[in-house]
Amino acid sequence: MSKEKRVLNSTSLIRSFNVVSVLQTIYREGACSRTKLAEITKMSPATITRITSELLEQGIITEHGIGQSNGGRRPVFLKLSYDKLYIIGIQIRRDQVALGLSDLKGKLMSKSAYSPYSLEPNTLVRELVQEFNSLLEKAKVKKEHILGVGVAISGIVDSNRGVLLQSVNLGWRDVKIAEILEDNLDFPVVVENDANAAALAELWFGGAQKASNFLYLKTSAGVGAGIVYDRKLLTGPRGMAGEIGHIPLQKNGRPCRCGQRGCLETYLYLPDVLKRYQMETGQEIKDCFELFNKARSGDPVANQILEELVDTLSMAVSLSGGLLDLDMVVIGGIWANFKELLIDRLERHFQTVLARTGLHKKFSVICSTLGEDSDLLGAVGIFTQKWLTPPI
């Protein structure tokens, strides 16, 4: 059964087709009268009155001000109660599954995380369902107020079909993860690659809320990118847009785990960076902060490693920014912690590239400010994007 049919056949109030249309219209309009709702949705006034009465009773919408009369009764404006509608975000990776309950403004009301017992899909889902129910029980939230579930997962995803095509991280191939979760959770589920999800988190809740075209570069366990163009996520026909980690950028560069040389990931993947320092100095360092401190103190190897990192990442930012005519690049993950030493240099480098080509435009490179909750908010952002901006 298709995802759309499962949603339409649901007996839950906020998941019925007409109610979803009303809520989406109120969201897009900001505030809307019953008359205008009937006009936009093409529903009868009686249907609109019945739906809005139920939503008002549950506190999902509120009356907010009275408009000018056009000869009849003065219209009463209706607005969404952003703190009474919820989305569940789920982030799945090899070493951790995280869940979060968020309102429509991206405020995480409750969250939990655990290490999965098994990565076998059906076993993982059974364990996930238990954690999901436990989260709802502790949060004391009515299921009737939950719009649905967003899932951020590492790998190549066909988001239209809800299928994880391949994940080296999880060892999965062609897993119908949306269908499996919908059958077990009884909520509509939207699935997306974790880098794409993080880009949507920046669009809805982070530093890119006012940007129309931007790239989010994820620099955590691996390297990936999410591209938002005209405030819409670009995934490509095979879900591979943004797979930037293993594109060789340095000719005859350092060897990468994929077998090529000069890939972006080999300069950003922290375990490789720390291992490189140890191999060249015989000294072990524990994290990127120690590496930066050594560079500040004049350590030549640390400085070389960071120069290579900045140079390679500058190529990626300049290529992406120029090719896609971006307004912004958002750096997320571990390397987002170093604004002065890394982020500011990336921005200056691309501004120099723009000046040399005769182009003058506003462009910025920023750090993600969502912190440790970025992946969960990314999962929430997946569903927010799908639900609040439906296809016209």
**What pLDDT sits at residue 281?**
92
**What pLDDT sits at residue 7?**
37
For residue 224, the cross-strand partners are: 218
Q: State CA 277 to chain mean position distance.
A: 32
Tokens of 31: 């505030």
Tokens of 317: 């930012």
Sign of torsion over alpha carbons 318, 320, 326, 332: negative
**What pLDDT sits at residue 3?**
42
Report CA-CA distances (Å) from 184 to 126, 132, 146, 188, 261. 8, 10, 15, 11, 44
Are 86 and 109 spatial neighbours (Cβ–Cβ below 8 Å)? yes
CATH class of the 207-369 domain in this structure = alpha beta
Q: What is the mean pLDDT, run by run of 10 residues, along the chain of 392 residues?
A: 37 69 85 89 90 88 74 79 88 90 88 90 92 90 86 88 86 91 91 89 89 87 83 81 82 84 86 89 88 89 89 83 84 80 78 70 81 85 77 46
Q: What is the side-by-side strand order in the sheet with 61-66?
A: 32-33, 76-80, 61-66
Helices 177-185 and 121-139, axial angle in degrees (round to 10): 40
Rounded to two decimals, the pTM is: 0.78
Tokens of 56: 């008002």
Give the pLDDT confidence of 272-285 residue by residue, as tens digits.
888 999 999 989 88
Helices 374-388 and 17-29, axial angle in degrees (round to 10): 100
In the chain, residues under CATH classification 1.10.10.10 are 3-80
Cβ neighbours around 210 below 10 Å, total: 8
E-assigned strand segments in the chain: 32-33, 61-66, 76-80, 86-92, 97-103, 108-114, 146-153, 156-158, 163-167, 172-175, 189-193, 214-219, 223-229, 232-234, 328-333, 364-367
Residue type, 244: I
Report CA-CA distances (Å) from 121 to 127, 186, 252. 10, 18, 39
Report CA-CA distances (Å) from 236 to 7, 182, 192, 211, 249. 26, 25, 12, 21, 21
Report CA-CA distances (Å) from 129 to 93, 97, 116, 161, 184. 16, 11, 12, 21, 7
329 burial class (0-12, 13-18, 19+ CB within 10 angstroms)? Answer: buried
Report the residue count for the chain.
Answer: 392
Residue type, 278: Q
Tokens of 165: 């095509």
Nearest to 102 by CA among 391, 387, 336, 368: 387
Homologous superfamily assigned to 84-202+376-388: ATPase, nucleotide binding domain (3.30.420.40)
**What pLDDT sits at residue 11?**
37
Q: How many CA atoms lie within 13 A of 4 on its CB side?
A: 5
Are 118 and 124 spatial neighbours (Cβ–Cβ below 8 Å)? yes
**What pLDDT sits at residue 267?**
86
Are 338 and 373 spatial neighbours (Cβ–Cβ below 8 Å)? no
In the chain, residues under CATH classification 3.30.420.40 are 84-202+376-388, 207-369
Q: CA Rg, the chain, in Å?
A: 23
**What pLDDT sits at residue 390?**
53
For residue 113, the cross-strand partners are: 98
Cβ neighbours around 128 below 10 Å, total: 21
**What pLDDT sits at residue 69?**
61
> CATH number of the domain at 3-80, please?
1.10.10.10
Are 90 and 76 spatial neighbours (Cβ–Cβ below 8 Å)? no
CA distance 50 to 131: 36
**What pLDDT sits at residue 214?**
93
